[in-house]
Amino acid sequence: MNGQPEKNLVIRDITKSFGSVTALKTVNQEVRQGEFFTLLGPSGCGKTTLLRIIAGLELPTTGSIILTGKDITSLPAAKRQVNTVFQSYALFPHLSIFENVAFGLRSRKFPEAEVQKRVAATLDLLEMGAMRDRGPDQLSGGQRQRVAIARALVNEPDILLLDEPMSALDAKLRAQVQEELRRLQRRLGTTFIMVTHDQAEALVCSDRIAVMNAGEIIQCGTPEEVYDFPRNRFVAEFLGAANLVHARRAPGGVETEIGYLKLNREPDWLEGLVAIRPEWIKVGAVKPELNGVHATIQDIVYRGTNFDLAVSPGAMRVRTNAFKNFKIGDQVWLELPPNELVVLED
């Protein structure tokens, strides 16, 4: 294990059923110490259930949770060195910001001087020092979120869990907070495990992303890995827009409804899907050397920084820079570079 990061959290054969409903089918995953790990998936995929099992708010049906070598599966939340930032933040409305943050320390009967010192330091870290005497109802959504993070971090947890932390924030603030959260995590070196359904958020924040669907982890890897090389249709479609093309294996590539496409490696199936992101398709007036598709523009959506084109054949979406002047009905040449074509497993 030399040179390998210490394995911090091990999720081993976890399953969870609520009556006849299966929330988690066998989940196995390691989360390394100090990484920003994200569970990404649509609602109902089991990501929050998995987070709650790690937090000690839910017992798994089978399997175990191991934190730095110690089995903590049956330890309740109050006995785990794991703290949670709840989706609704769950701040105590009758307590001041200071007392909210001090809650965990006071529960464990820390001496007053220590409480004062640590709470003040944590509030300063999150730039909330000026708000210490206010009540939660006097704060904005973004400030409440900072308090929720401070309240968890002040306990110096081994792992910080974040359940959809951005869901209560507006879009503009969200982008800013994502970066701040990332910086905070890097600075502290604490393991963060975040649950989200927002792929952009997962891509911005994470060291690694586990894409979940229907109670299973479908693919786990760095943001680049899961975005650029989705394993299957679900991952390709869930992480951003993707054009999926039905294909049949042919020498050096695939034969599709939009013509022959050369690939870097031949697929191991006979019939299946290849994917390409709209932004990797090049649009031009002349026929490219490789993987050219002659297409007609069916629809144009202006998005400020770019145009989204809907083209036929193949009902593909193409994202292109905004400086070109397109009209509906224009004939164009598309280039689908072999490097950007991803062979999906299903």
Partner 1 sequence: MKESSILWRGEMTTRRALTGRGMSFLSGGMLWLLGFLILPSLIFIALSFAERGVYGEVIWTFSLENYRRLAGFSSFGWTPDYLLILGRSVIVAFVTTSVAILLSYPLTFFIASRPERSRFMWLVIIIIPFWTNIVIRTYAWFFLFSPEFPFARIAAFLGLIPAGTSLYPSAFAVYVGMISDYLPFLALPLYSSVERLDWSLVEAAQDLYASRIRVFMQAILPQTAPGLTVGIILTFVPTMATFVVPDLLGGAKYMLVGNLIQQQFGASRDWPFGAAISMALMLMTLFSMRIYRRKGKKVDLL
Which residues here bind partner 1, judged by CB under 8 A? 55-57, 76-78, 83-84, 86-88, 90-95, 103-104, 107-108, 151-152, 155
Our CB check for partner 1 shows the closer of 164 and 335 to be 164
Query: DSSP labels for 173-205?
Result: HHHHHHHHHHHHHHHH--EEEEEES-HHHHHHH
Nearest distance, CB of residue 128 and partner 1, angstroms: 17
- In angstroms, give the least distance from the CB of 11 to partner 1: 19
Q: Are 231 and 345 in contact (CB under 8 A)?
A: yes
Nearest approach, Cβ of residue 85 and partner 1 (Å): 10
For partner 1, the closer of residues 51 and 131 by Cβ is 51
Q: How far apart are CA 256 and CA 248, in angstroms?
A: 6
The residue (of 75 and 125) whose beta carbon lies closer to partner 1 is: 75
Q: Which residue has tokens 């394995």? A: 7
| DSSP 8-state class, residue 130 | G
Cβ at position 162, least distance to partner 1 in Å: 12
Q: Which is nearer to partner 1, 69 or 93 (CB)?
A: 93
Bridge-based pairing of strands 191-196 and 36-40 is: parallel
Asked if 91 and 144 count as a contact pair (C-beta separation under 8 A), the reply is yes
Q: Least distance from C-beta 66 to partner 1, angstroms?
A: 19
Asked whether the beta carbons of 6 and 28 are under 8 A apart, the reply is no
Residue 85 or 184: which CB sits closer to partner 1?
85
| Integer-rounded Cα radius of gyration of the chain | 24
What would the two tokens of residue 215 be? 């109670």
